[in-house]
A = this chain, B = another copy of it.
Amino acid sequence: MLRTACGILALALSLYAFYSRIRPGDQFPKLRDKWWGEGYRIMETHYVEDSRIEVTDKVLYDLQNRLKATQKLHPSYLGMGQRYGIRDNVMQDVLDYWTNHYNFTKRLEFINQYPHRFVKIRGLTIHFLYAEAQRKHQNTRVIPLLMVHGWPSSFLEFYEVLPMLVKSDPTLDFVFEVVAPSIPGFAFSDYPHKPGMSAIYIAQIFAELMEILEYDHYYVHGGDWGGVIIQHMAHRYPHRVLGMHSTMCYVNTITSNLKFIIGSYLPSLIYEPEEMRLWNKTANSIAFMVEEGGYFHLQATKPDTIGMALRDSPIGLAAYMLEKFSTLTNANYRDREDGGLTEKFTMEQLLDNVMVYWVTRCMTSAMRIYAEAITNYELEFNRYMRILVPAGCARFPNEILLSPRYILKERYTNLVHLTTYNNGGHFAAMEVPGSLAYDITSFVEKVEKMRPAKKRS
């Protein structure tokens, strides 16, 4: 029954997509030369500042006061897991830990283990993390890798995987140096002062960042919004991007939707034999999106309203963010009374990320990314975009959307690397950093082998 409904919905969406193909001749609207700062464009010198993350005592004192003044949480229904939203007992534990055990001043040492750098681009201060390559041999090549986070995570998502990428592996002739920026409006990057900062404009800013840092060629990796952003980079700057690696490869075209519908009845038509285990997940994914997509719908339409509350209440902010760390890590955690929150993550990992959103007061501007994405302009790119640079897609079994190779090939025409793992969900970089580091490295190894040796830097 639900299957049929999903089929009909998908069909409707495909027909809609078909009818709204208004300008197939002019598929890619031009990028405008935008200035995102206050007022008018000024001359910028791209001076890169080295810094540390510091937070004033006043901010921490204010936070303590708010945590202590938190209203008694509304009792959750017994036996319903997280089906009505994150439970009171889960958040009570978070609140107790946050108030009594969590020490942000100490956590700043951890956060500051990498240098934090800042540079002005198009009127905005862009924050990024720089993780230097730790070469063992002088003839080990250093390969630059841009890593882009998503919502509701931050650059902190990569802290577990970074050491694995920047340390020399004796079996490889290369090692990474990593640039992990904060998306404009997130964490320590400025928020845009004008509307319209969609993924494609973020891609433009990050391409300019890499140019300022004097990288001629580099790899890109991302998941969630990071995955959307790096796709645009791969599409628009193929002369710079050597390869793109994503944990959230997806296609959204008329034909891909039709294939999904057909595949939900006749899976063998679209899934390869070893992909068959993805089938059930895909069939459930539309129902999952309806049940779990309320936040998406709200953020895509009225981010500023809900932002008022999330900026003002630490427990509210944490609840809103941590629901995702439960549900998107494993959909089955919804049926657990504890939400499985500390099953894969430590309370420190979870609260560090919440703290980054709290101290930078960035929730409203971060959520606006959803509103900017759901525009005809952005959707049109998404419909026709073909990525020609080598692409690598890692499929973690609890990721929201998992597509078969047959469908992925539509967009990623040069899909050189496609893997399926046994563990891991939406926050794979935090949850299974070893698998992710291995996957990125394997992908880059393949691509490097295909490149003419003389061109390798």
Where the two chains meet, the residues of A that have a C-beta atom closer than 8 Å to any C-beta of B are 1, 4-5, 8-9, 11-12, 15-16, 19-20, 22, 62, 65-66, 69-77, 80, 84-88, 91, 193-195, 290-295, 297-313, 315-320, 323, 361, 364-365, 368, 371
Q: Are A69 and B74 in contact (CB under 8 A)?
A: no
Q: Are B313 and A308 in contact (CB under 8 A)?
A: yes
Name the CB-closest residue of B to A5. B16
Name the CB-closest residue of B to A301. B294
Q: Are B320 and A315 in contact (CB under 8 A)?
A: no
A72 to B364, CA, bound (A): 12
- Give the residues in chain B near A295, CB-CB below 8 Å: 298, 302
Q: Are B312 and A308 in contact (CB under 8 A)?
A: no
Choice from B72, B87, B312 contacting A316 with Cβ under 8 Å: B312
- Give the residues in chain B near A302, CB-CB below 8 Å: 84-86, 292, 294-295, 323
Q: Are B319 and A316 in contact (CB under 8 A)?
A: no
18 contacts between A and B (CB under 8 A): A4-B16, A4-B19, A8-B19, A72-B361, A85-B304, A86-B302, A86-B305, A87-B304, A291-B301, A295-B302, A297-B297, A298-B298, A302-B323, A305-B319, A306-B320, A309-B319, A312-B312, A312-B316
Q: Are B294 and A299 in contact (CB under 8 A)?
A: yes
- Give the residues in chain B near A12, CB-CB below 8 Å: 8-9, 11-12
Name the CB-closest residue of B to A65. B69
- Given A74-B365, A84-B371: A309 and B300 within 8 A (CB)? no
Smallest CB-CB A-B distances: 8 pairs? A309-B316, A85-B304, A85-B305, A294-B298, A308-B319, A12-B12, A312-B313, A309-B309
- Given A8-B15, A77-B195: A311 and B22 within 8 A (CB)? no
Name the CB-closest residue of B to A78. B194
- Give the residues in chain B near A88, CB-CB below 8 Å: 304
Q: Are A77 and B194 in contact (CB under 8 A)?
A: yes
- Give the residues in chain B near A306, CB-CB below 8 Å: 85, 306, 309, 316, 320
Name the CB-closest residue of B to A362. B74
- Given A11-B12, A294-B300, A294-B302: A195 and B84 within 8 A (CB)? yes
- Give the residues in chain B near A22, CB-CB below 8 Å: 1
Q: Are B301 and A320 in contact (CB under 8 A)?
A: no
- Give the residues in chain B near A72, CB-CB below 8 Å: 361
- Give the residues in chain B near A85, CB-CB below 8 Å: 302-308
Excluding A70-B312, A313-B313, 19 further A-B contacts by CB distance (< 8 Å) are A8-B15, A8-B19, A9-B16, A65-B69, A72-B361, A74-B365, A77-B195, A84-B304, A85-B302, A85-B306, A86-B302, A86-B308, A293-B297, A293-B301, A294-B300, A295-B298, A298-B298, A306-B320, A310-B316
- Give the residues in chain B near A313, CB-CB below 8 Å: 308-309, 312-313, 316
A310 to B306, CA, bound (A): 9
A365 to B299, CA, bound (A): 22
Q: Are B62 and A368 in contact (CB under 8 A)?
A: no
- Give the residues in chain B near A292, CB-CB below 8 Å: 301-302
Most B CB contacts (10 A, CB to CB) among A87, A194, A301, A303 go to: A301
Most B CB contacts (10 A, CB to CB) among A9, A307, A309 go to: A309
Q: Are B76 and A304 in contact (CB under 8 A)?
A: yes
Q: Are B308 and A91 in contact (CB under 8 A)?
A: yes
A388 nearest CB across to chain B (Å)? 31
A52 nearest CB across to chain B (Å)? 24
